[in-house]
Every structure is written in structure tokens, then in C-alpha cells.
Chain A
Amino acid sequence: MQGPTPWVIAIMMFVMVVIAAAGLSLANAAGVVSRGVENRYSVQIANGAAKASAAEAAVRRTPGVAAVRSIPEAEMRKTLERWLGPEGAKADLPLPALIDVDLKPGISPRAVAAKVEAAVPGARFVAHGATLKPILRAIHSLTWVAFAIVLMIALATAAAVVLAARSALAANRPTIELMHGVGATDNQVARLFQRRIAIDSLSGGVAGALAAGVVLLVIAGGRAAWVEDVTGGPLLTFTDLAALALLPLLGTLLATLVARIAVLRALREAL
């Protein structure tokens, strides 16, 4: 790579690929979580350990229920301990009865809720989606922020290419005069600069994307396991990886187009 342009493009592409990968991962995670809780509900009975088995039986009898699972008290205390420390595991801390319920697709949760709440006084039928809604909204916002950053980096790269093209024009003024002098058209002169910028962009873009790939592999190696536990799916799909791999090519096309426009505009100012 010669001159500063490929290095600038490499750095821009590195940041762009990492941020785009983060955005795609967030979008995937949100999708997986959203789909996972789409038909999942909880029956919550405050201080209801005694009513838990009756409630579970009532839920099982309700039409449209696909799966029912009572959350064992030990599991709840373990979870609380993770958040509250040792105090959370003490037996004198009152716990509700919790029953996870998966409904069959297309079943109205309202009808099920009415039957469960009638069968077990004091029971609440709560959608998991409602609980996770603020988190999903935050994830969606972060995804859009990531894509907005990618767009801004693309614009900054385009601006850097314009500066590089202008600087190359200034540095090669005698050659351009010569080319015009021997009858070259603006398109012929612009093609020379386009080719140079395309080579710089492609070499810088590929180098930046490869470096980003290495960083993503390192991150994925250390973190993928728990992320997959949480989301139930891989960080990035094959389509995502293909889209990321296309970024250097798209960057090269963008840079070449921008360079062509910048050079043609500058040439129009001369005779």
C-alpha cells in the first residue's frame, strides 16, 4: 500500500466492519430473543408455593397450552442469589410460585389468562415479551445507532477520497495538462485517477476488513458461548458474513465513483 489513502481506508473499513458486525449481532440477538418469547408466558402467584401444583394442573387442562414447567424454588433462589448476593438465597425471603407456559401458535393469551386466573385466585398471567420489551427496544435502538455509524463512516471515507483525489490532481497537474494537450478527454484523464483510487481502496479495504475479521474471531472465540446461551443462536449468520465480506467491494465502488465525480468536476474548471 502506497501513500496515506489506503491506510485511511483500511482504518475506516476496520471500524466499519466491526461496527456493522456489532449491529448485525444485536439485530440477530433481538430477533432470536423476540422469537423465543413470542408464545411464552408466566403464571405468577404471590406467596403461592402452596397453590403451585393446583395452578400447574389447571394450566395443563387449558386448551391451547403447548408446554408447562414449574420453576423449582431452588432455581429461583439461585437466580436471586446471583442478583442479590447470599441474602437472596435465604429461606425467609418469600418467593412467588412461577410457572412457565408455552402457548400453541395462534392461541389467544387472553382466553388462557382468563381461565387460569379463574381457576387459581390471585394468579397473574404475564407475557415474557412484555417484560423484555424495554430491553428489546434498547437493542433495536443500538442496532440502528450501529448502522447509522456505519453510514457516517462511509460518508467520512467518501470525504477522504475526495481530498485524496484533489491532492492527486494538484500533484499531477503537469501530467493532466500534458494529457489534455495530446487530446485526452476528461473521461480518459478521470479513468487514470479512478484506477489509482480503486486500487488504493481495494487494498486498504481488504486489509481493514481482514483485520476486523481477526478481531471478530477473537471476540467470538471468547464470548460466543454465553451469547449463544442467551440468544439461542449464533452471533452472525452466513448471510451476515457475506454482507460484511462485501463491504470492501462496496467501499471500493463508492470510492471510485466519488473519485470520478471529484476529478471530473475539477477538470471542468480547466480548459
Chain B
Amino acid sequence: MGKLATIVEFDRVGLRYGTGAEVLRDLDFRLAAGGFYFLTGPSGAGKTSLLKLLYLAQRPTRGRIQLFGDELTDAPREALPPYRRRIGIVFQDFRLIRHLSAFDNVALPLRIAGRPETEVESSVREMLAWVGLADRASARPPTLSGGEQQRVAIARAVIARPELLVADEPTGNVDAEMAKRILHLLTALNRLGTTIIVATHDISLITATPGAQMIRLDNGAMIDPTGALKNPPAQMGHADA
């Protein structure tokens, strides 16, 4: 087991929307590169807000955030796209673009990154085959089932081989069998070195993922009785360790 670098570091982070009460309070943790983390907690605990901070859709109102070793709390907005390209996101509501085919939805991150179309073509075909949707490449999202849409969303999130994958309830809209398949996809991706953070209510997912760690949020604060998330990532076990 080699030493693992820190990929995410939160230092007394707080978040409030407008003038409302803080939805996240004093978040203070580090996540190791290559780790597999589940983010759990009751509804309204702040899971989605924490994910937004992780995929740089929101700035903290206090505290410091480091991603990939770089301090990004006050980074200018034009500096953020290159970091976002290193993060894959699976939204709870999929957020597929309705008028684009499954192929074009999956190809979006590569095209945004300016990859040549020949590379896009082969990578997307391979990715669609990996999620079992090779024959649905030209289908538009409204014609796909919930599970198929979810897999397209996952394919889009991982197509650019992100270093960090953030998934919000990725199994929330699928049956148990499909949930197992999705977890298998995420685990395979983690084995390739991607750090995975999955927000979920599904305890069976957590129990089915040996080596994964749990971040528990309650009322905007983190409950980490073991202290493993904070100290020290270098000694943490890898997900498949």
C-alpha cells in the first residue's frame, strides 16, 4: 500500500445561501486521492451543498478549500474550468441535454475540452459499450428509461477520466439490480485511480463496498467519530485494499 496524496482538503468551511442560516458548518477534513467515500446523512443535512462545493459550483462563505493540491477558495472564476475538467459529476436528476443524443451527451466533456473528433468518436463508443448502451447511442434522453439515462449520465461523468468523481444519489432512480451495476461501474473506475464521492441514503451500497469510507453529515456538520477523514490521508487504506 503506497502513500496516498490528499485530493480534497476542507479547512473550517462554512456555507450559507444569501442571508440565511449556515447550511454547512466547520467542515474540516481531507480526502485521499484514489479513495472511495460515501456521503450520508438525513435529508436537509447539507449533502448536496457539500457536493456543490466539491465540484466548484459554489464558493464557501468561510474557511478554505483545496482541490488537487491547489487553494481554490478565492480563485478567479476564469481559473476554475481546468479544475472542473478534472472532476466528473453525476447529478441526481441526470441533467442530460434533451435535444442531444446519448452519444452527444456523453461526448460533451471531451468536446468542451477540445479533443479531436476522432478521439471523441472512439472514446464515446467505448464508454457507451462499458455502460451497456452501445446500441442506444443515437437515442435521445426522453426515449431512454431511467436506468439508461442514469448510465448515460455516469458515462458522461467518467468519459474524460476525471481524477475526482462526485455522484449525487446515483442509484436513487433505479432498481436494485441496476444499482448493483452502477456500483460495479463506480468501483471499476475507482480501481483505475479515480477518487469517488457518492452521496447516498442507500445503506446496501455502503455495505457492498469494502474499503469505502463514510462521511456522515447531520444538520450541516460532519460526524467523523474515527477521525480517519481528517488524519492522515497518507495512512488510509485504498478502496480496494
Contacts and interface: CB of A to CB of B under 8 A. Distances in A.
Contacts of A179: 108, 112
A184 B95 contact: no
A74 to B, nearest CB: 77
Identify the interface centre among A174, A179, A182, A185: most chain B CB within 10 Å of its CB: A182
Given A175-B97, A182-B112, A183-B84, A271 B78 contact: no
Contacts of B97: 175, 178
A177 B97 CA distance: 12
Nearest to A189: B112
A179 B160 CA distance: 14
B20 interface: no
Contact of A182 (B58, B59, B77, B85): B85
B112 A183 contact: yes
A271 to B, nearest CB: 6
A271 B59 contact: yes
Contacts of A268: 77
B57 A182 contact: no
Contacts of A185: 78, 81
A185 B82 CA distance: 9
Nearest to B109: A182
Contacts of B82: 183
B167 interface: no
Contact of A271 (B57, B89, B108, B112): B57
B56 interface: yes
A182 B89 contact: yes
A36 to B, nearest CB: 60
B208 interface: no
Nearest to A186: B78
Interface string A181-225: 111111010000000000000000000000000000000000000
Nearest to B108: A182
B114 to A, nearest CB: 9
Contacts of B108: 178-179, 182
B113 interface: yes
Contact of A181 (B55, B113, B160): B55
A84 B218 CA distance: 98
A184 to B, nearest CB: 5
B91 to A, nearest CB: 8
A180 interface: yes
Interface residues of B, number: 22
Interface residues of A, number: 15
Interface string B99-126: 0000000001100110000000000000
B96 to A, nearest CB: 9
Contact of B95 (A178, A183, A188): A178
B75 to A, nearest CB: 10
A184 B112 contact: yes
Contacts of A181: 55, 57, 84, 89
A188 B113 CA distance: 10
B224 to A, nearest CB: 27
A270 B113 CA distance: 21
Nearest to A184: B112
Contact of B81 (A174, A177, A184): A184
A268 to B, nearest CB: 7
Contact of B57 (A175, A180, A184, A186): A180
Interface string B71-87: 00000011011101100
Given A178-B95, A271-B77, A183 B57 contact: no
Contacts of B57: 177, 180-181, 271
Contacts of B81: 180, 183-185
A183 B113 contact: yes
Interface string B116-158: 0000000000000000000000000000000000000000100
A148 B199 CA distance: 60
Contacts of B89: 181-182
Nearest to B113: A183
Pairs A-B, 6 closest by C-beta atoms:
A183-B85, A183-B84, A182-B109, A178-B95, A183-B81, A184-B112
Interface of B: 55-59, 77-78, 80-82, 84-85, 89, 91, 95, 97, 108-109, 112-113, 156, 160
26 contacts: A177-B57, A178-B95, A178-B97, A178-B108, A179-B108, A180-B57, A180-B81, A180-B84, A181-B57, A181-B84, A181-B89, A182-B84, A182-B89, A182-B108, A182-B156, A182-B160, A183-B82, A183-B84, A183-B113, A185-B78, A185-B81, A188-B112, A271-B56, A271-B57, A271-B59, A271-B77
